[in-house]
């Protein structure tokens, strides 16, 4: 098993750089650039899985890694390295073609040391590599405290980790990272109030600290505190506009607050992001139903199912009818029940539900007609017998 060797006494020509890039042309360009900059020793991998194998078998001093790759992307590789007790401090430079600032911020906040945009620039790369070497050779007291805190955190020595991050916060009280990590640690220690304090402090120092926003939002979601959850998710949606899960969470929160217009807006945006994926559409149908957006759920359902799926369609419309009836939207419920019966006219549950609805509307003659139908189809149905008894007592 290889470990990260000290860079303190090393010269450029002794460093080994691992270039992780699935595009062969880009990989060759990076090799050429680092060679020109005085780093002759390079290893290459085409994805995160290959890179992880190389890291464990070869001596690697610095990683230059693409963000978007098959099999295992750069962000997943980075997280795997940072969770490793052996390699957690390995210098990591992310190279990305992403022009979305929020994606870059999210990557940075997931512990990447530095990043650069494609196409790579020799001057910028030289600057980053020099900075990486400087930080390893002569880290500041703040950097030492952060590194120690992460080490203790990864090894689940939470008390020592807290002490290290507190030292870091004293050295640089305006830096959000130490407060973010203390929030994470307190949360794992089931001290959510202290976690909230530290996440809030981190966000106050950098409103763009996405991970802190997400962690704090998760606490409020678990507490079902939508009043505090919604403002946080609104900020995250602005920073990560293409994230479908955030839109679903925000739509659900609006739904719980009975703000159907805002719930619909967020969930419809989420629908567009599914790009027609049936599994994601099915999940979103449930979000629409929970938000009380039954017409939207119906429309989405019909996109997913074909005309011949009669049983599925009838079951779904019966379900929507029940939801509407619970909310006393009897006219809408009746329409759903009648639509279901067009597909499956002999379905006992739908006929029973429609009978109950007609009783709610005091349309006892209509209810009697449907209950008689049920008893012709299902002579032994005890629920229908009881309903007819009640109807007859009213009409007599």
The structural domains of the chain, ordered by start, are 12-138 (3.40.50.2300)
Judged by average pLDDT, the poorest of 103-107, 134-138, 288-292, 375-379 is 103-107
Rounded to the nearest integer, the mean pLDDT of the chain is 89
Task: State the pLDDT confidence band at 100, using cuts at 50, 70 and 90.
Answer: low
Judged by average pLDDT, the poorest of 132-136, 188-192, 201-205 is 132-136
Using the 8-state DSSP alphabet, how is residue 116 labeled? E
Judged by average pLDDT, the poorest of 52-61, 62-71, 101-110 is 101-110
Distance CA 91, CA 329 (A): 60
pLDDT at 293 over 60: yes
Closest CA to 391 of 373, 365, 352, 353: 365
At residue 105, the pLDDT reads 60
At residue 11, the pLDDT reads 75
Distance CA 236, CA 158 (A): 28
C-alpha triplet 317, 320, 323: angle, nearest 5°: 155
What percent of the chain has pLDDT above 70?
Answer: 93
At residue 240, the pLDDT reads 84
Using the 8-state DSSP alphabet, how is residue 307 labeled? T
At residue 97, the pLDDT reads 75
pLDDT tens column, 258-286: 999 999 999 999 999 998 888 899 999 99
The answer for residues whose C-beta is within 8 angstroms of residue 171's C-beta and 6 or more apart is: 140, 141, 142, 145
3-state secondary structure of 288: helix
pLDDT at 224 over 60: yes
pLDDT tens column, 313-362: 899 999 999 999 999 999 999 999 999 999 999 999 999 999 999 999 99
Higher per-residue confidence, 146 vs 198: 198
Distance CA 45, CA 53 (A): 9
What percent of the chain has pLDDT above 90?
Answer: 66
pLDDT at 56 over 90: yes
The answer for residues whose C-beta is within 8 angstroms of residue 161's C-beta and 6 or more apart is: 149, 150, 152, 153, 181, 185
pLDDT at 9 over 50: no
Using the 8-state DSSP alphabet, how is residue 174 labeled? T
Closest CA to 318 of 360, 351, 355, 284: 351
3-state secondary structure of 76: helix
pTM of the model: 0.75
pLDDT tens column, 75-93: 889 888 887 878 888 889 9
Question: By the 8 A CB rule, do 160 and 143 touch?
Answer: no
Q: Residue 293: enclosing H or E segment and its boundaries?
A: none
Distance CA 138, CA 136 (A): 6
Question: By the 8 A CB rule, do 11 and 43 touch?
Answer: no
Task: State the pLDDT confidence band at 101, using cuts at 50, 70 and 90.
Answer: low
Mean pLDDT of 293-315: 85
């Amino acid at each position: 098993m290889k470990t990260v060797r000290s860079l303190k006494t090393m010269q450029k020509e002794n460093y080994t750089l691992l270039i992780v890039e699935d595009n062969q042309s880009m990989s060759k360009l990076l090799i050429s650039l680092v060679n020109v900059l005085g780093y002759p020793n390079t290893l290459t991998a085409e994805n995160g899985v290959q890179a992880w194998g190389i890291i464990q078998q070869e001596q690697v001093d610095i990683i230059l890694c693409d963000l978007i790759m098959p099999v295992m992307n750069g962000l997943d590789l980075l997280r795997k390295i940072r969770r490793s007790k052996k390699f957690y401090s390995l210098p990591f430079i992310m190279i990305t073609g992403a022009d979305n600032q929020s994606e870059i911020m999210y990557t940075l906040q997931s512990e990447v040391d530095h990043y650069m945009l494609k196409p790579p620039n020799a001057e910028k790369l030289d600057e980053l590599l020099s900075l990486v070497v400087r930080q390893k050779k002569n880290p500041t007291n703040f950097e030492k405290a952060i590194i120690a805190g992460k080490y203790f955190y990864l090894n689940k020595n939470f008390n020592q980790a807290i002490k290290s991050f507190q030292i870091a916060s004293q050295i640089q009280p305006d830096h959000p990272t130490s407060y973010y990590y203390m929030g994470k640690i307190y949360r794992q220690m089931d001290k959510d109030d202290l976690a909230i304090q530290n996440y809030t402090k981190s966000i106050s120092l950098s409103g763009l600290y996405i991970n802190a926003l997400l962690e704090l939002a998760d606490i409020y979601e678990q507490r079902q505190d939508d009043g505090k959850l919604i403002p946080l998710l609104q900020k995250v949606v602005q920073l990560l506009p293409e994230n479908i899960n955030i839109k679903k969470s925000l739509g659900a929160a609006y739904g719980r607050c009975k703000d159907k217009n805002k719930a619909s807006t967020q969930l419809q945006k989420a629908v567009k992001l599914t790009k027609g994926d049936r599994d994601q559409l099915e999940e979103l149908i449930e979000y629409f139903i929970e938000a009380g957006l039954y017409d939207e759920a119906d429309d989405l359902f019909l996109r997913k199912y074909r005309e011949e799926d009669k049983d599925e369609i009838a079951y779904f419309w019966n379900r929507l009818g029940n939801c509407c009836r619970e909310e006393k939207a009897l006219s809408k419920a009746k329409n759903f029940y009648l639509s279901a019966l067009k597909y499956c006219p002999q379905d006992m549950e739908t006929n029973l539900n429609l009978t109950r609805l007609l009783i709610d509307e005091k349309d006892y003659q209509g209810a009697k007609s449907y209950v008689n139908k049920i008893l012709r189809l299902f002579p032994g149905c005890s629920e229908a017998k009881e309903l007819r008894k009640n109807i007859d007592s009213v009409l007599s």
